[in-house]
C-alpha cells in the first residue's frame, strides 16, 4: 500500500527539485554530448592534416622554395586545445545551457583568443627586434667613436 502526501514543506521542496530535474538534463548526458563533440572535432584533425599537406606543399620558382606545411594543422590544434578547455569549463559552470550552445559559444571565444594571441605575439616579436636593432646601433656608434679616439 502506498501512502500519499498531501501537504507540508517537504512535498513542496520535493516538487521543486523534481521540476528542476525535469528541466535540466543530467550531468552524465551533458558530459557525454560534450565528449562526442570534442572527439568529432579531434577526428576532424585527420582530414585537416591531409588538406594541409596537399595545399601547402613546397612550391616556388628556381630561386626560393617555400614550405608552409603544418601551418593549418598547428593552428587547428591550438584552436582545438583552447576550445576543449573553454568548453569543459563552460559545461562545469553552465550545465543547464545545453552542450551545443556551450560548444558554439566557446568556439567563438576560442577564435577570438587565438587571433588575439597571434596579434600579441607579433607585436612582442616586433618589439624584440626593434630592441635588438637599437642595441646594435648603440654598440656600433660606440665602436666608431673608440676607433676615432685611438
pLDDT at 137: 85
pLDDT at 72: 93
pLDDT at 108: 96
pLDDT at 7: 53
pLDDT at 17: 56
For residues 119 and 122, give the distance between their C-alpha atoms in angstroms, rounded to a whole number.
Answer: 5
pLDDT at 148: 60
For residues 42 and 1, give the distance between their C-alpha atoms in angstroms, rounded to a whole number.
Answer: 54
3-state DSSP call for residue 11?
A: helix
55-84: pLDDT as tens digits? 988 776 677 777 888 999 999 999 999 999
Rounded to two decimals, the pTM is 0.68
Average pLDDT per consecutive 10 residues, the chain (150 residues; last block may be shorter):
53 59 68 92 95 84 79 95 95 86 94 96 96 86 61
Burial readout 75-101 (b: 16 or more C-beta within 10 A, e: otherwise): ebeebbebbbebbbebbeeebeeebee
Burial readout 4-38 (b: 16 or more C-beta within 10 A, e: otherwise): eeeeeeeeeeeeeeeeeeeeeeeeeebeebbeebb
pLDDT at 96: 82
Amino acid at each position: 500500500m502506498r501512502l500519499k502526501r498531501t501537504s507540508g514543506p517537504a512535498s513542496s521542496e520535493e516538487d521543486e527539485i523534481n521540476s528542476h530535474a525535469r528541466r535540466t538534463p543530467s550531468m552524465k548526458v551533458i558530459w557525454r554530448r560534450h565528449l562526442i563533440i570534442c572527439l568529432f572535432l579531434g577526428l576532424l584533425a585527420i582530414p585537416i592534416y591531409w588538406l594541409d599537406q596537399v595545399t601547402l606543399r613546397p612550391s616556388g620558382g628556381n630561386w626560393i622554395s617555400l614550405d608552409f606545411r603544418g601551418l593549418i594543422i598547428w593552428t587547428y590544434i591550438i584552436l582545438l586545445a583552447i576550445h576543449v578547455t573553454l568548453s569543459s569549463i563552460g559545461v562545469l559552470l553552465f550545465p543547464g545551457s545545453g552542450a551545443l550552445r556551450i560548444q558554439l559559444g566557446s568556439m567563438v571565444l576560442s577564435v577570438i583568443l587565438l587571433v588575439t594571441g597571434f596579434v600579441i605575439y607579433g607585436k612582442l616579436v616586433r618589439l624584440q627586434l626593434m630592441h635588438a636593432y637599437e642595441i646594435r646601433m648603440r654598440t656600433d656608434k660606440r665602436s666608431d667613436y673608440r676607433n676615432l679616439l685611438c
